[in-house]
């Protein structure tokens, strides 16, 4: 059973950098999946941030692309998110998830529990 | 970006009711549509993928339909644990986009 777990600071100062790590257990991050970040502001809907493929290829939401970097550390079975120049609008629960496929149909099948990141001075 | 619009945004129902939630895409997405259920404080859970395929372990009272731009999620007989929020999501192209959510509460 694949499990994902987010970790990182819960409080970030405005204009600072948000950094989170997702640790994958129960399976190798080196398998051919996309590994994703999704966020949810309090009381609001879901927003896809971006993905990284096991090879290191990335795909980002254009609305965040200038501020986002997603990277992978295969030796630790982890992938990470960095979001620069944060503002209060970046306050959200951040989820890591696996983008998987079945018969060429794609979906998020495994999710972390989520971690709340608050941007405040 | 492909916009996903769900309706209604909320609905009230009773245990045993049949409920249907609609999701409309701003352009043709074939059958590349997923449905998720999210309970408060928890991560979303996959219910339906490819518009009509039931994910492993999901009760058969959930079903999905549609293609192109119009899709539905139907719960045939609401159970107490189904009173929560549902999201559609298109998997046709990036950026991957979600509907705004539909909250199902107790009448």
Q: Do A111 and B43 touch (CB under 8 A)?
A: yes
Q: Are A117 and A94 in contact (CB under 8 A)?
A: yes
Q: State whether residue A107 sits within 8 Å of chain B by CB.
A: yes
Q: In terms of DSSP bridges, do strands B85-90 and B70-75 run parallel, antiparallel, or are they unpaired?
A: unpaired
Q: Which long-range contacts (CB under 8 A, 24 or more apart) does B78-82 make?
A: B78/B13, B78/B14, B78/B15, B78/B16, B78/B17, B78/B18, B78/B19, B78/B104, B79/B15, B80/B15, B82/B37
Write the residue in A45, A62, A111 that is nearest to B95 by C-beta: A62
Q: A19: which 2 tokens?
A: 């950094």
B contact test, residue of A1, A45, A68, A103 with most B CBs within 10 A: A45
Closest C-alpha among A91, A94, A97 to residue A114? A94
Terminal Cα distance for chain A, rounded: 39
- pLDDT tens digit sequence for A74-112: 999 999 999 999 999 999 999 999 999 878 899 999 999
> Which parts of chain B register pLDDT below 50?
none
Let me know: does B33 contact B90? Beta carbons within 8 Å.
yes
Task: For chain A, positions 11-40, list CB contacts with chain B under 8 A.
Answer: 36
Instruction: Collect all residues of chain A within an 8 Å Cβ-Cβ radius of residue B97.
Output: 48
The per-residue pLDDT for A101 is: 85
B22-53 residue pLDDT tens: 999 999 999 999 999 999 999 999 999 999 99
Q: Which of A46, A106, A112 sits opposite B91 (nearest CB)?
A: A106
Contacts of B101 (CB under 8 A, 6+ apart): A45, A46, B6, B9, B38, B85, B86, B87
Q: How many residue pairs from chains A and B have C-beta atoms closer than 8 A?
A: 63
Coil/strand/helix, residue B1: coil
Tell me the per-residue pLDDT of A74-84, one tens digit each, with 9 for 90 and over.
999 999 999 99
Task: With cut-offs at 50, 70 and 90, classify the pLDDT of residue A55.
Answer: confident
| Residue A50 host element (H or E) | strand A47-53
* pLDDT tens-digit map of A3-51: 999 999 999 999 999 999 999 999 999 888 999 999 999 999 999 999 9
Question: CA-CA-CA-CA torsion for A101, A104, B4, A97, nearest 10 degrees?
Answer: 10
Between chains, do B43 and A102 touch, taking CB under 8 Å as contact?
A: no
Testing the interface with A: which of B95, B102, B103 to mutate, by most A Cβ within 10 A?
A: B95
How confident is the model at residue A102, as a pLDDT? Answer: 79
């Amino acid at each position: 059973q694949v499990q994902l777990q987010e970790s990182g600071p819960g409080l970030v100062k405005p204009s600072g950098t948000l950094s989170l790590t997702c640790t994958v257990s129960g399976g190798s991050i080196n398998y051919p999946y996309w590994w994703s970040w999704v966020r949810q502001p309090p009381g609001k809907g879901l927003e896809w941030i971006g993905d990284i493929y096991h090879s290191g290829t990335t795909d980002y939401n254009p609305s965040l692309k200038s501020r986002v970097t997603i990277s992978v550390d295969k030796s630790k079975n982890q992938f990470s998110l960095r979001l620069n120049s944060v503002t209060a609008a970046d306050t959200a629960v951040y989820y890591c998830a696996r983008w998987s496929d079945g018969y060429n149909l794609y979906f998020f099948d495994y999710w972390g529990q989520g971690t709340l990141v608050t941007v405040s001075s | 970006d492909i916009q996903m619009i769900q309706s209604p945004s909320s609905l009230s129902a009773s245990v045993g009711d049949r409920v249907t939630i609609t999701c409309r895409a701003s352009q043709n997405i074939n059958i590349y549509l997923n449905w998720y259920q999210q309970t408060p404080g928890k991560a979303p859970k996959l219910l339906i993928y490819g518009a009509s395929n039931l994910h492993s372990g999901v009760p058969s009272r959930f079903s999905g339909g549609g293609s192109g731009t119009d899709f539905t999620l139907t719960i045939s007989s609401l159970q107490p644990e189904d009173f929560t929020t549902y999201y559609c999501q298109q998997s046709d192209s990036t950026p991957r986009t979600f509907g705004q959510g539909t909250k199902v509460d107790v009448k």
